[in-house]
Structure 1
């Protein structure tokens, strides 16, 4: 029953700021990836559609939870954003020209999303009274 009440707890200004930061990073990645793969710098080898599916597909998984502000989604979306950290850092290392700047934009968006998701999940979880029990407080593990 607490999950019904928890959704009606208002957001603190700090929490709302991180919500917007995470959403901005997510939407930036969501728009950048297809633009990059299909128009701005399509791959020279292989299929653009396959690359698009591999890079854009994972962003569809947390979309509804991120747009709705679900703290749990923000917490696990950080695992997905690691794909874009690795992708952008790899391109920053090996590329030049247009690809370098696209990778820089991808890295910036991934950093925004990572910071926003991390702190939104933390602060919203605190507002909702959620916490991970410590091992010393768990009577089963003692």
Structure 2
């Protein structure tokens, strides 16, 4: 189960990175030829290696971090029209998948009192 959650988080984060790049460069940029919104992909790179390596701490903070992208997706799905609105809906779906996987991964990998090492 833990491996499936890690795979789901990894795939959804990578897909969100590619979606953001494609959206803001060629599919539906705010300005023809692209916009500065392409730089919103940079923060998505911060948790990437921790997620791929299964680092619990990265799963803990990135589940809150991804809510910024969820909010952007909801707002743009409601406010934009055409392809941009559909891409925003895809962003919402990917962020929900990522959030769900990271929450359950962090929960299932936490140390219980029986597993914790006692300090002398």
TM-score range, shorter chain: 0.7 to 0.9
> What is the CA-CA distance between 1:15 and the residue it aligns to?
1.2
Question: Aligned equivalents of 1:91 and 1:41: distance in 2?
Answer: 12
Counterpart for residue 62 of structure 2: 77
The reply on whether 1:65 has 2:63 as its aligned counterpart is: no
Gaps of 5+ in 1: 1-13, 131-142
The answer for unaligned runs of 5 or more in structure 2 is none
| Aligned residue number for residue 108 of structure 2 | 123
Alpha-carbon deviation of 1:27? 1.0
Greater Rg over alpha carbons, structure: 1
Alignment correspondent of 1:99: 84
Structure 2 counterparts to residues 47-62 of structure 1, below 5 A:
48=35, 50-53=36-39, 55-62=40-47
Q: Check whether the contact 1:66–1:74 (CA below 8 A) recurs between aligned residues.
A: yes
Write the deviation string for residues 46-104 of structure 1: whole angstroms up to 9, x where unpaired.
x61x2111x11111111110111111101100122011111100011112210111011
Q: 1:110 aligns with which of 95, 109, 112?
A: 95
| Contact 2:47 2:62 survives alignment (8 Å) | yes
Between the aligned partners of 2:108 and 2:3, the Cα distance in structure 1 is 9
Q: TM-score, normalised by structure 1?
A: 0.74
Please, what TM-score do these two structures have when normalized by structure 2? 0.86
CA RMSD after TM alignment = 1.9
